[in-house]
A and B are shown apart, each in its own frame.
Chain A
Amino acid sequence: MTTPPPTPAIHFRNVSFALANGQLLLDRISLSLDEGTTTAILGRSGSGKTTLLRTVNRLLDPTNGEVLLSGVNARDRNLIALRRSIGYVIQEVGLFPHFTLERNVALVLEAESTPLAQRIRRAHELLTAVGLAPDTFAGRFPRQLSGGQRQRAGLARALAADPPILLMDEPFGALDPLTRLEMQQMMRSLLQRFRKTVLLVTHDLDEALYLADRIVLLDSGRILANLTPQEFLRSAQPEVRAYVQAFRRALPADPATAPPTQEAAP
């Protein structure tokens, strides 16, 4: 007898989401995320990526189907406990302007009435992990930080309660390319250190290739492809090829991968 496959950390089962006016944003999505893996959701704006992400921590509830977390329907769990067990990182970061970084990072612990000393210790530990030296940054306010530093703090906050799941909605989308690269490298090493199940919404194919174990391509609320990064690059599926080529064309400096153009032809 073979052992049954492990229960996925996140399992979307026939998840649909419709707006009150009937517009369907998610159309019977079925998708499993294994524990400790990173899945990138790619797709155009309006393809339903963010909507899908938000059904996990129940900022939205599916109008049909269900989201199972380690086999348990998200709806059957206590909403507050569920959200505290899921880290959430967004492009706008959402650091609270009236709190220092230390307090921002440890806010979930504060909400759980963890003793102050423990909160501070944890906040400093995480600030260090994301490359913000606590001596310098713990007492600063968000307005005193650069965009990249804010995003680092946002990530530290998401990790504060050591959640098994991390939801990231275009976390590095608003950063300049160099900062973004640094953040992606840091993210990769953090993911190797802390085993998390990550759902990453992004527009950036390179980011997906660099960070993800699986890449899911979404269009009009449906899954078009669910592939490993290698498969994704080699896929003959027209929609996937179109996506890959859109990125390769944006990189004319790399002749090895750029598609031939008419100008280049003799």
Chain B
Amino acid sequence: MSFLSQNASTILTLTIEHLWLTASAMFFAAAIAIPAGILLARSPRWARPVIGIANILQTIPSLAMFGFLLPLPWLGDRAARIAIVALTAYALLPILRNTYAGIRGIDPSLVEVARALGLTSRQRLFKIELPLAASFILAGLRTATVTCVGIATIAAAVGAGGLGELIFRGVASVDNRLVLAGAIPAALLALAADGILGLLEKLTAVKQ
């Protein structure tokens, strides 16, 4: 107990840092991957190569990814920048893939009727396609968020902070309490994100 009370403010600060890293990365990833997924759904011949690239990004081991970004100008100046860029890269694939699949998966007769009714391309997107694909897109965001909360712990390796710092410190000093002080809040964050986004996903699901 005394361990907790001694470290409470550190844990809190690092949790907020962790959240901040993940949330920023999710913001950028969504801002890139949702529009990209929409574009791919409109011109599916690009889907394979583009999703392929996102797939490759996903396979880079996270420690290596942070390492690659370290020597880059501007990015390398601040560890948080590296962390956010790396996390964004990991979050792209699930969001991109789900946005694409969600829109492509809409019943073709609905898409045809939307065209035949004379909806403009923008009206089709906002009134029909996005609402019908919303739960898919949210499922992608959920997968991406949970992954990112986990990977963000590695960001401490390049000094970006976050709960990983406690884990790394704990490993270095063979102190399991420190490891758990980082791992448990990280796991709780992941569970919370999963729960909240899962709920949103359920709320936006269109009953057929």
Write the residues of chain A forming the contact surface with B, with a CB cutoff of 8 angstroms.
57, 59, 79-86, 88, 90, 92-94, 96-98, 107-108, 110-111, 141, 143, 157, 167
Stretch at the interface among B115-123, B138-146, B155-163: B115-123
* Cβ proximity bits B166-208 to A, threshold 8 Å, 1 near / 0 not: 0000000000000000000000000000000000000000111
Nearest opposing residue in chain A for B204, CB measure: A98
Find out whether the CB atom of A97 lies under 8 angstroms from the CB atom of B208.
yes
B80 CB to nearest A CB, Å: 40
Tell me whether A141 and B116 are in contact (CB under 8 A): no
Chain B residues whose CB sits within 8 angstroms of the CB of A93 once the complex forms: 109
Interface residues on B, range: 20 to 34
The distance from the CB of A95 to the nearest CB of chain B, in whole angstroms, is 8
B116 touches A83 (CB 8 A): yes
| Residues of chain A contacted by B123 (CB below 8 angstroms) | 111
Q: Are B131 and A111 in contact (CB under 8 A)?
A: no
Please list the residues of chain B having a beta carbon within 8 angstroms of any beta carbon in chain A: 107, 109-110, 112-120, 123, 127-128, 131-132, 206-208
* Minimum distance in angstroms from A110 CB to a CB of chain B: 8
With both beta carbons as reference points, the residue of chain B lying nearest to A82 in the complex is identified as B118
A141 CA to B206 CA, complexed, in Å: 11
Given A97-B132, A98-B131, A98-B132, A80:B112 Cβ within 8 A: no
A88 pairs with B116, CB closer than 8 A? yes
Given contacts A85-B118, A94-B109, A143-B208, list 10 more A-B pairs with CB under 8 A: A80-B119, A82-B118, A88-B113, A92-B107, A93-B109, A94-B110, A94-B112, A97-B110, A111-B120, A143-B207
